[in-house]
Structure 1
Amino acid sequence: MQEYLIVLNKDEDTISIVNLQTNEIEKTIETDYNPHEVVVTPDGKKTYVTCSLGNKMNIINNETFEIEKTLEHPDFNFPHGLGVTTDGKKIYMASTYSEKVFIINSETDEIEKVIPTYQKLSHMISFSPDGKTVYVPNIGSDNMTVVNTEKEEIINHFPVGKAPEGVAVHPNGEHLYVANQGDNNLYVINTQTLEVEHKRRVGSVPIRIVFSPDGKYALIPNRESGDLSIIATAHELKGNVRPWEVKRIRVGVWPGGTVFNAQGTLAFVANNKTNDISVINMETLKEEQRIEVGIHPDGIAYLKK
């Protein structure tokens, strides 16, 4: 098995395929305008890339690392966040300025359904671990849209902080973590009651949230402060167990897309303005090295094949 990083270089319209055995770029793929967000199917066979300023989606065959198909739609208006169902059969995509969620059949690569959110700036897609729920942060409405994947319908909206963007559900399914860019904080929300159980100050303009595979840590890249908040999700102190920022480490300028390897031993942070990837050792919680990539890397995915 070989491990790769798929890194989207927004300002040169390319993808860097990084071989993690050598930490070198094995291949560069030309894309449509402004490749932004990325998801890999669970079987590792396909990669979906939203090209936000080009209003297109590029679909890559991971055997050849070639673009096999390009999807377009009149309502692809800054297509952005992506997610995939647990069975790999459906791709969900949020189109920011048209404020719609698209559902794409991954076998035919055709759009099956378009769901308007009726909220402002619907930006990302985050699945619950059981795959039954999708959370869509609406940056302009300061709220979250909830989609039931079995019905393929919106079932709720609920308020969060200002300008939410980063969102992820803890692997145990019990808590939704939301990074509020406008408040520079983290909300930890009970997924059953939708009550905010914890608020935590993080860095400036928190942009993403990614959990380690075991759920021990949540990583939050803070765009403006150029650092990475490391949240221990069940930190114990004097009998209290709660999520807590146990470390904040410097990475590159404008950190964004963040991903773990399969084992959870390493995390990778795309630094938009230093054109590199920070490699974080999750044992020491330190940056080990940088991998040079293209111009303005942001979206990033891990592939094992």
Structure 2
Amino acid sequence: MKLSRRALLRHSLALPLSAGLSPLLALRTIEAEAAPASLAIVMNSGEASVSVIDTASLRVIRTLPTMREPSHWALSPDRSKLYIADASGNALFIVDPHTGTSLGHKIIADPYQLGFTPDRRYLVINALRINYVDVYRADDLTLVKRFSPGEMPSHLDFSPDSRWSFNSMQESSTLVSFDLTNMTIRWKAYVGATPAGVLWHNGNVLVCVMGEDHVAEVDPATGKVLRRIKTGVGPHNVFVTPDRTTLYVTNRVGGSLAALDAVTLKLRRTYALHAGGPDDLSVAPDGKVWVTLRFREQVAVLDPVSGDYTTIDVGRSPHGIFLTSQLSQPGLITAELL
């Protein structure tokens, strides 16, 4: 079945209710004698499950059940817990980031995208289905503030000093900035149709504008769009490599990955991923790029030098991905800062 452009843009919002699966999917496991040295943890939004991959053998060794729709992750400041957002399941699933085993879950209203502020004080959650941006205390996850800033809060990032957050509103075509010191809205700015991924980068904010096929560079003080960078069809999310030399943009509708120069933002190379619907990614210590393919039930492992890639079968609609090798990195670890 061929999906329309609008259906492809909104594919991430589809709930897995019609598939007839139990909300608590039976645990499938191929247990090893000891935990592998490195794992990839993949959130399958269309299957209410999390796939745990041994990155050495490229095999799924464990599948963890969730409630309904796992999407994104946030690593606790002490690196002891990986919080996985299950939006329509109204829960945060907690996984041991070292072993890829379940530590239970906590009931939270509609968590879709989430992130801890750099100062480790707050956890900010975009509740996409119910149109809230919620601010929780990071230490005990008590609700501090609830905002109603627009329709379908999608992705987010923060200023390095933790004063401001920047949250995209998919159905309102806006980027909204919050002051987390006095808990107020600083500004709302039109950035283009169906904005998604957000990244603070070199003093400005980058926003993937899926409906208009570009990444917008935004002034964080005013919300003014400074320039627009064409990357491909339906750019969904943007990530910076550990050495901060490359920005990767996943063009989900076009089925490609764009590599931009991190300083000039000029397009350096495009990798074809054959209509797989690339969504989120992470970079391994060997430089390989692990990319979730929403439309193919696979994760691609891409060699950015040759452009070749291999695939690993996972669950339906794989979304967020976390590599345990990131735990050895110093400093802040988020989904966007690889």
Which TM bucket (shorter chain)? 0.7 to 0.9
Change (3 A) 1:52 1:85: same
Q: Where does residue 7 of structure 2 map in the other structure?
A: none
Please state how far the C-alpha of 1:228 moved relative to its aligned partner.
0.9
- Asked whether the equivalents of residues 215 and 230 of structure 2 are also in contact (C-alpha less than 8 Å), the reply is yes
The 2-side partners of 1:194 and 1:32 are apart by: 37
Superposed CA offset, 1:188-232 (max 9, x none): 223345433321222221111111123322111112211111111
Answering whether residue 125 of structure 2 is matched by residue 90 of structure 1, we say no
Partner of 1:161: helix, strand, or coil?
A: coil
Amino acid at match of 1:55: N
Partner of 1:123: helix, strand, or coil?
A: strand
Q: Where does residue 309 of structure 2 map in the other structure?
A: 288
Amino acid at match of 1:302: L
Partner of 1:182: helix, strand, or coil?
A: helix
The 1-side partners of 2:224 and 2:145 are apart by: 29
Q: Where does residue 336 of structure 2 map in the other structure?
A: none
Amino acid at match of 1:44: R
Higher helix proportion (structure 1 or 2): 2
Please state how far the C-alpha of 1:285 moved relative to its aligned partner.
6.3
Q: Higher mean Cα deviation, 55-64 or 291-300?
A: 55-64
Amino acid at match of 1:9: N
Give structure 1 stretches of 5+ with no counterpart. Answer: 235-241
The 1-side partners of 2:143 and 2:289 are apart by: 34
Please state how far the C-alpha of 1:136 moved relative to its aligned partner.
0.4
Partner of 2:144: helix, strand, or coil?
A: strand
Answering whether residue 241 of structure 2 is matched by residue 212 of structure 1, we say yes
Q: Where does residue 32 of structure 2 map in the other structure?
A: none
Please state how far the C-alpha of 1:44 moved relative to its aligned partner.
2.3
Give structure 2 stretches of 5+ with no counterpart. Answer: 1-35, 328-338
The 1-side partners of 2:180 and 2:323 are apart by: 24
Please state how far the C-alpha of 1:102 moved relative to its aligned partner.
1.7
TM-score (norm 2): 0.78
Answering whether residue 46 of structure 2 is matched by residue 17 of structure 1, we say no
- Asked whether the equivalents of residues 47 and 60 of structure 1 are also in contact (C-alpha less than 8 Å), the reply is yes
Give the 5 Å matches for 1:25-104: 25-62=60-97, 65-73=101-109, 76=110, 79-104=111-136
Please state how far the C-alpha of 1:138 moved relative to its aligned partner.
0.7
The 2-side partners of 1:14 and 1:272 are apart by: 14
Partner of 1:207: helix, strand, or coil?
A: strand
- Asked whether the equivalents of residues 165 and 178 of structure 1 are also in contact (C-alpha less than 8 Å), the reply is yes
- Asked whether the equivalents of residues 219 and 231 of structure 1 are also in contact (C-alpha less than 8 Å), the reply is yes
Answering whether residue 321 of structure 2 is matched by residue 300 of structure 1, we say yes
- Asked whether the equivalents of residues 34 and 53 of structure 1 are also in contact (C-alpha less than 8 Å), the reply is yes
Amino acid at match of 2:244: G
Superposed CA offset, 1:18-66 (max 9, x none): 2323332232111111112222224321111221232332223435621
- Asked whether the equivalents of residues 212 and 264 of structure 1 are also in contact (C-alpha less than 8 Å), the reply is no
Q: Higher mean Cα deviation, 176-185 or 89-98?
A: 89-98
- Asked whether the equivalents of residues 133 and 149 of structure 2 are also in contact (C-alpha less than 8 Å), the reply is no
Partner of 2:265: helix, strand, or coil?
A: strand
- Asked whether the equivalents of residues 154 and 197 of structure 2 are also in contact (C-alpha less than 8 Å), the reply is no
Extract structure 1 runs of 4+ deviating beyond 6 A: none
The 1-side partners of 2:76 and 2:321 are apart by: 14
Superposed CA offset, 1:176-198 (max 9, x none): 11111111111122334543332
Give aligned-pair identity as a percent.
19
Change (3 A) 1:38 1:145: same
- Asked whether the equivalents of residues 187 and 223 of structure 2 are also in contact (C-alpha less than 8 Å), the reply is no
Q: Where does residue 258 of structure 1 map in the other structure?
A: 281
CA RMSD of aligned residues (A): 2.3
